[in-house]
Amino acid sequence: GHLVPSGPPSPKKIPPWPSDLCKGCRERYSKTWKKQEDNYRNFSSQLRSQCQGFDRAIITQANTPVGSNIVYSAESKRTLMVTPGIFSTFIKENPFPQKKWDTCAVVGNSGILTNSSCGEMIDSAQFVIRCNLPSLGKGYEKHVGTKTDIVTANPTILVRKYGSLNGPRRPFVESLHIYGKSLLLLPAFAFGFCTPLCLKAAYSISDIESPIRPTYFNPDYLRRLSNFWRSRGLHRGLTSTGLVMVNIALEHCANVHVYGFWPFSIHPFELNAVKNHYFDDKTGKWGMHSMPAEFNQLLQLHSQGVLRLHLGNCR
Ligand code: CDP
**Tell me: the pLDDT tens digits for 211-224?**
999 999 999 999 99
- Cα–Cα nearest to 131, from 283, 19, 22, 249: 249
Q: Is the pLDDT of residue 7 over 60?
A: no
The pLDDT assigned to 132 comes to 97
The pLDDT assigned to 291 comes to 86
Q: Give dist(CA 6, CA 315) in Å, integer.
A: 7
Q: How far is the CA of 215 from the centre of ligand 1 (A)?
A: 20
- Cα–Cα nearest to 104, from 88, 86, 119, 124: 124
pLDDT tens sequence across 243-285 = 999 999 999 999 999 999 999 888 888 888 889 999 998 876 6
Q: Is the pLDDT of residue 287 over 90?
A: no
- Cα–Cα nearest to 310, from 272, 271, 261, 273: 261
Q: Which of 241, 276, 310 to mutate to test the pocket of ligand 1 (most atoms within 8 A of CB)?
A: 241
Q: What is the pTM of this model?
A: 0.93
CB contact at 8 A, 150 and 182:
yes
Give me the percent of the chain exceeding a pLDDT of 90.
77
Which residue's alpha carbon is at the smallest distance from atom 9 of ligand 1? 109
Rounded mean pLDDT of 274-303? 84
Residue 306 DSSP SS3: coil
302 belongs to the catalytic site: no
Q: How far is the CA of 261 from the centre of ligand 1 (A)?
A: 7
